[in-house]
Chains A and B, each alone.
Chain A
Amino acid sequence: MSEKILHSYSGIFDTPDEIIHAAEKTVEAGYTKFDVNTPYPIHGMPKAMNLEPSKLGYAALVFGLSGTLTALFVMYWMAAIDYPITVGGKPFFAFPKYIPIMFEVTVLAAAIGTVSTMLFFFFKFPNNAHPLHDTSYMKKVSSDKYGLIIQADDPKFNEDEVKVFFASLHAKDVEPVYYDMEDINASPKIYDKKFIGGLALTFILVSGITYFTLNKLMFMVPFNWMMYQDKLTVQEKSSVFPDEFGVRAPVAGTVARGFMPYEFPNEPELAGEVLLNPLVPTEKNLALGKKKYDTYCSPCHGDFGDGDSRLRGQFPNPPSLHSEKVRNWSDGRIFHVITMGQNIMPSYSSQLTREEKWATVLYVRALERSKNAKESDLK
């Protein structure tokens, strides 16, 4: 049933100079639907074929630039806005260290984007068949020959004329190229079992190797050597100091940056008298206080300070925060309990900053007011 249709006439040339010359002559002869196939790109060919410059470059530009900007934006947003952490004493938005990544992402996006554009837009993927495939012509031009074809759908096409024309160019192996309607209508080979199987195998292999590399190989000698560093981590002996402690206490008389020592570690009453809450109960401060209270205090003291712990008896229930005693305490006195702890209640100094402690106190005050409202609050 197969029906042979003429696609084109092909001719073979031996040198790049010949093929350039042939292309120029073909243009001169007025053919428009012709193509040149060479084993490698030949400079000057687009001009000889009278082709417009390829538009593919614009795709590369757009994809490349979008890669640059994406990288820049992602890094800026992550490192400077969403999760700012100081790294190496650099500002959060440290442009120089973004440059290599921006560069890499540009190249990656441009490469993938350009190839995809080529495949999907110019080659009309998943269509992967062309009448020239699997011809002796294609075999020659993909190794060491240079070929030219003139398509049968060219308005000027005439079998005899084309043969004469090829002869005038001294082309070798001039022959017609046919194709089958059946081949063209056949479903694309991409759904072929072999192809899918190949894809699946590649997928399994790549993920297997990746898994092996990241989870096994990295822990084998010698790759695991990178995990050992000369620096001391917690619980390690130091060979430098006579007392062999790796973790050092601060030098006497110094404090860490941003740290404020607490003035009344052993004088709760004095703290209650002297310390004043620097915060006012604004919505923002109360919201902060609620967040900290719910996180750090509510497991023992209960969501509303009633002493109804969520710990189900694993820890002695604390007293209610609504007792008259606590209600009559000053803010400073509660601050003292948070800072120093009280009997079995531990200190919360390492979890809460000064400001957060004061905000928590504000929230405790609000809780108390909610259960024992003053006369004036009801008005």
Chain B
Amino acid sequence: MSSSQSNVDYQHKPLPSSFTKIGTALLAIGLIIVIIGYFIDPTRAAFNNLILLMFLVSIGLGSLFLVGIEYLGGAVWSTPFRRITEFLASVLIVIPIIAIPVYMHMHDLYHWTHNEAVQADKLLKGKEPYLNLEFFTIRIVVFLLIWLAFYFLLTKNSKKQDTSKDQGLTKKNIKISAIFMPFFALTITFSAIDWMMSLEPHWFSTIYGVYYFSGTMLAALAATTYLLIYLNERKLLFKGLNQDHYYSFGALLFAFTNFWAYIAFSQFLLIYYANMPEETFWYLARWEGSWIVFSIGLIIVHFVVPYFGLLSQPSKMNPKRLKFMSLWILFAHFYDLYWLIMPTYNKEGIVFGWMELGFPLLAVGIVALMFGLKANKQNLIPVGDPKLIRGINFRL
């Protein structure tokens, strides 16, 4: 695990022990709350579990996408940070476990799993060939297998390169990434449709997959940004991390904040404009009771704050600002998922209690632990990557 052959000055050091300790503590507290939650109110817990699941998919799958797109685009500037995204992508390994409770509470979550309701409903009957338990199960299993397969393929080659310094591995990974991309596009779209959009089986929005993707990108980028600043502050990365590196992450966060707003508004405007009852009810549900406050809050939390927080050029390069904004964006993504999922659970208004706190804690705990496990075993920068030096010396 030494970097003797490379001319990068890097020594692998473990993360501060507080990192894993806090991660474990959060995981433990979260897990206890979650288990109690499942005993007291399984339906509510299942809905929260779904948010947790989608959040972790965002982090894991989004990070895997970032790894893939870096190989595919031949990006140089992000190579020194690829390990961070790779470690974050390891969250994918836990996804099947998180998905099990959701699968066990299908009847509480998904209206279309009730056969009598489907038979009595013309629309649902029409969608039955797609929305039925058997096909749903097959799809989810296939998605998970695809994600895990590409995760292991990509990270295995990357890890091997640390010692072998074999440039051919980069070429291999480029090919794998190229194959991954269409699979990614399809699986992220259909997993969003299956897990979230089918909560309201009468409703449909063709932009839904892209909407979820935009949030996914934000979550993965924000997690990467936060961790890279955290690691850099503790001198665990390489020497010479410069403003242009920061600026690139800041600019991407800013760009995807706008992308999210663009997609979210497009979805809303089309539905608002066409004004068809089979589409508008979804927004009306989020415009009634206390949900209206939450919906307006979404615009502020997910767009206004990050937009102005990252608008100016200096703020995109300031590590302190970036650290705060990336945590904020992670929170905003959770908020967004809550907004997408929870109105199905309670039409009357916002539900918030200790259970809603427990699941985010668990989420942070899982991400931190998975990251910590990987980071303590592997180099934090891909020391064998041929693009590494150029990436470290990157100037805009």
Interface residues of A (CB under 8 A from B): 16-17, 43-44, 88-90, 96-97, 99-100
Quote the shortest CB–CB distance from A54 to chain B (angstroms): 11
Q: List 7 A-B contacts (CB under 8 A).
A: A43-B396, A44-B395, A88-B273, A88-B275, A96-B269, A97-B269, A97-B272
- Is there contact, CB below 8 Å, between B275 and A96? no
Say whether, besides A88-B275, A89-B275, A100 and B269 are in contact (CB < 8 Å). yes
- Is there contact, CB below 8 Å, between B395 and A17? yes
A-B contacts besides A43-B396, A97-B273, 19 pairs, CB < 8 Å: A16-B395, A17-B395, A43-B244, A43-B247, A43-B395, A44-B243, A44-B244, A44-B395, A44-B396, A88-B273, A88-B275, A89-B275, A96-B268, A96-B269, A96-B272, A97-B269, A97-B272, A99-B269, A100-B269
- In the complex, number of A-B residue pairs with CB atoms less than 8 Å apart: 24
- The reply to whether the CB of B152 lies closer than 8 angstroms to some CB of chain A is no
| Bound Cα distance A17, B273 (Å) | 53
Q: Which residues of B contact A89 (CB under 8 A)?
A: 275
Quote the shortest CB–CB distance from A128 to chain B (angstroms): 30
Quote the shortest CB–CB distance from A75 to chain B (angstroms): 15
| Bound Cα distance A17, B394 (Å) | 11
Quote the shortest CB–CB distance from B260 to chain A (angstroms): 15
Residue total for B at the interface (Cβ-Cβ under 8 A): 11
Secondary structure class of chain B's binding surface, majority of residues: helix
Interface residues of B (CB under 8 A from A): 243-244, 247, 265, 268-269, 272-273, 275, 395-396
Smallest Cβ-Cβ distance to A96: which chain B residue: B272
Interface centre among A16, A17, A43 (most CB of B within 10 A): A43
Q: Which residues of A contact B268 (CB under 8 A)?
A: 96
Smallest Cβ-Cβ distance to B268: which chain A residue: A96
Smallest Cβ-Cβ distance to B312: which chain A residue: A57
Q: Which residues of B contact A96 (CB under 8 A)?
A: 268-269, 272-273
- Is there contact, CB below 8 Å, between B244 and A99? no
Q: Which residues of B contact A88 (CB under 8 A)?
A: 273, 275
Smallest Cβ-Cβ distance to A87: which chain B residue: B273
| Bound Cα distance A346, B264 (Å) | 55
Smallest Cβ-Cβ distance to A47: which chain B residue: B243
Smallest Cβ-Cβ distance to B313: which chain A residue: A53
Smallest Cβ-Cβ distance to A97: which chain B residue: B273
Q: Which residues of B contact A16 (CB under 8 A)?
A: 395
| Bound Cα distance A90, B274 (Å) | 10
| Bound Cα distance A99, B247 (Å) | 29
Q: Which residues of B contact A100 (CB under 8 A)?
A: 269
Quote the shortest CB–CB distance from A366 to chain B (angstroms): 46
| Bound Cα distance A99, B265 (Å) | 9
Q: Which residues of B contact A97 (CB under 8 A)?
A: 269, 272-273
Q: Which residues of B contact A43 (CB under 8 A)?
A: 244, 247, 395-396
Quote the shortest CB–CB distance from B28 to chain A (angstroms): 45
Q: Which residues of B contact A99 (CB under 8 A)?
A: 265, 269
Q: Which residues of A contact B273 (CB under 8 A)?
A: 88, 96-97
